[in-house]
Amino acid sequence: MRKIPTNILWPVVVLLIAFGAFFLKPWQTTQQETISVTAEGKVDTTPNIGKITATIESKNPNIDQARTENEKKIRAVVTKLQELGIEEKDIKTQNLSADQGYSGVETMMYPAPPKPDTNVFSTTLTITIREFKLADQVLVTLTQNGLTNLYGPELTVSDEKLEEAKSAARQNAIENAKKKASELANASDRKVGKVVKISEGTDYGYPIAMMARDSAELSQKASAIQPGQNQITTSVSVDFQLK
């Protein structure tokens, strides 16, 4: 058998490769057909943490005496709260304030006194309640020690419980996305394949906090704390292959 000269063989090989590449176009990939859907997942979870912000004030013509009296009240409050089972880490000083004020209730009337006649020193505490059965006792402790303003409770869930709820909401959202994609695909005589892409967005619902202007109003609300439920909602956008 006659051997083909090398100087002829290699040009032929190169031409065959070039023609194959031109017609087959291996660098061009078939465009993947996908379907994109958005869906939500919702989970109800019961709050297990309540935060109360309380202001306790003391009045005295001598500002230093007002401060001393206020510190005594705060020490009594903190001691009692710890006796109830509130941990030290859950009692936080939020704000200290000193200002001129009025010794009586004249400021609620018109005309007000021409000038302040005393000094006011106040301390604002944020108290985290992890056992709701202690809520009433905490409020009583505050009202008995010069409470003048209250905001709360702000009901939330612990980080651990929130993550568990978010994980369950994600699973629900993915299942809802699969169902939605399948319905759309079936309507066009197609089938859904594997997931190509997922992106997430979140939306959380929070309860409205209770507010009281003074101890008299607070006493009417002290037993009104019900944790209820928070709804954790997460949304996902998912791209599926189409078959």
pLDDT of residue 76: 92
The pTM of the full predicted model, rounded to 2 decimals, is 0.60
Tokens for 228, please give them. 């209820």
List, for residues 135-163, the tens digit of each pLDDT value: 888 888 888 888 888 887 788 888 888 88
Low-confidence ranges of the chain (pLDDT < 50): 106-107, 206-216, 218-220, 222-223
**What superfamily would CATH give domain 49-156?**
Protein of unknown function (DUF541), domain 2 (3.30.70.2970)
Q: How is the chain split into domains, by residue range?
A: 30-47+158-243, 49-156
List, for residues 39-79, the tens digit of each pLDDT value: 999 998 888 888 889 999 999 999 999 999 999 999 999 99
Measuring CA to CA, which residue among 220, 236, 203, 211 is closest to residue 55?
211
Q: How far is CA 40 from CA 110, 169, 232, in A?
A: 55, 8, 10
Please give the class, per CATH, of domain 30-47+158-243.
alpha beta
